[in-house]
């Protein structure tokens, strides 16, 4: 039987748990705890590509950039994304390699620094809303607006933060490399943090741009490009819910893409939480994917067997 391909998107809680400082030791331990579902998929005959978030790590790196201002050359946001994609890939790669050895599975793991193309005319560029980096005082915010041309907005009355655009991902540049590594029997880590955002210039050259790409939307694009069967998005909750954290909260175990679209339109899935995952699920299924699973990191086995989690399928 032909082996199937799954893209597994690790959420932020796979690396930094609630209430943790986010030390490297904590991140390694959290990664090791998140591997059971990946191992289960491999034992069920899936080829696996792993994606991951990088929000806390990019935030910390930008804090370092601010702390060293006027001492060393400043790093761009795109380079910070690339740095964290490599660092997190290393943590997952080493941890999974060790686990595979203990499980008696002879497979190599490789991290691909992944560029993701966005449209330089995307309407998101005219409405930057994604907060990144440290908080500033009003005076600092005014100065950075003048000196750097940054867009800065007040963030929940806690101070001011730089905001950047979050355009839709269009294509993974390293698609062929990922496919080649899979064909050679590798387990691939790619599109970390949504990938390194780039635009294509008129002459065909790629150029980095200081925006961020949603990790789940990028995972769906990668899954489409490599013709994955299944997209598994792991997060901090076991199910997708209607009326989340309300008295009439309802866990969803199975729904179609059409039903997901309806609930999204009704406002059940906010942009800052479940919204991007539902949009990514609908995109993937509309592009030809067969199954989307959304669940917590420790429930992959049950979710793939229909015992828990939320399965989203094509319209019947």
What distances in angstroms separate CA 132 from CA 160, 248, 276, 280, one per listed residue? Answer: 10, 34, 17, 22
Tokens of residue 195, six digits: 């990938």
Asked if 12 is an active-site residue, the reply is: yes
DSSP 192: G
Residue 269's contacts (CB-CB under 8 Å, 6 or more residues apart) are 240, 263, 275, 277, 278
DSSP per-residue string spanning 271-316: TTTTHHHHHHHHHHHHTT--EEEEEEGGGHHHHHTTSSSEEEE---
Residue 265's contacts (CB-CB under 8 Å, 6 or more residues apart) are none
Q: What is the separation of C-alpha 264 from the centre of its chain, rounded to a whole number of angstroms?
A: 19
What distances in angstroms separate CA 50 from CA 43, 44, 148, 218, one per listed residue? Answer: 16, 16, 35, 12
Q: What is the separation of C-alpha 192 from the centre of its chain, rounded to a whole number of angstroms?
A: 6
Q: Name the catalytic one among 215, 289, 299, 311.
A: 215
Q: Name the catalytic one among 130, 193, 283, 301.
A: 130
Asked if 130 is an active-site residue, the reply is: yes
Q: Name the catalytic one among 11, 12, 37, 89.
A: 12
Asked if 277 is an active-site residue, the reply is: yes
Q: Name the catalytic one among 11, 53, 54, 277.
A: 277
DSSP-derived pairing of the beta strands 291-296 and 310-313: antiparallel
Q: Which residues are catalytic?
A: 12-13, 130, 215, 277
């Amino acid at each position: 039987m032909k082996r199937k391909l799954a893209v597994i998107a690790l959420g932020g809680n796979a690396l930094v748990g609630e209430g943790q400082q986010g030390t490297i030791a904590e991140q390694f331990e959290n990664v090791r705890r998140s591997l059971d579902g990946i191992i289960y998929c491999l034992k069920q005959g899936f080829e696996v590509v792993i994606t991951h978030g990088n929000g806390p790590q990019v935030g910390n790196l930008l804090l370092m950039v601010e702390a060293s201002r006027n001492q060393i050359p400043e790093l761009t946001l795109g380079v910070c994304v690339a740095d964290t994609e490599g660092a997190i890939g290393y943590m997952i790669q080493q941890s999974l390699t060790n686990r595979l050895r203990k499980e008696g599975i002879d497979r190599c793991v490789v991290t691909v620094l992944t560029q993701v193309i966005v449209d330089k005319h995307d309407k998101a560029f005219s409405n930057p809303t994604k907060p990144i980096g440290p908080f500033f005082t009003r005076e600092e915010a005014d100065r950075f607006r003048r000196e750097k041309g940054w867009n800065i907005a007040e963030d929940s009355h806690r101070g001011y933060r730089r905001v950047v655009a979050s355009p839709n991902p269009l294509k993974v540049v390293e698609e062929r490399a990922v496919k080649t590594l899979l064909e050679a029997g590798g387990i691939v880590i790619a599109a970390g943090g949504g990938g390194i955002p780039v635009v294509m210039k008129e002459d065909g050259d790629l150029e980095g741009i200081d925006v961020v790409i949603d990790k789940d939307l990028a995972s769906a694009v990668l899954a489409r490009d490599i013709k994955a069967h299944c997209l598994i998005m792991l997060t901090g909750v076991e199910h997708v819910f209607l009326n989340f954290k309300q008295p009439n909260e309802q866990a969803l175990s199975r729904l179609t893409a059409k039903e997901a679209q309806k609930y999204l339109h009704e406002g059940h899935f906010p942009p800052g939480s479940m919204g991007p995952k539902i949009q990514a699920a609908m995109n993937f299924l509309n592009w030809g994917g067969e199954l989307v699973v959304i669940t917590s990191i420790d429930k992959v086995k049950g979710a793939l067997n229909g015992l828990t989690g939320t399965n989203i399928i094509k319209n019947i």
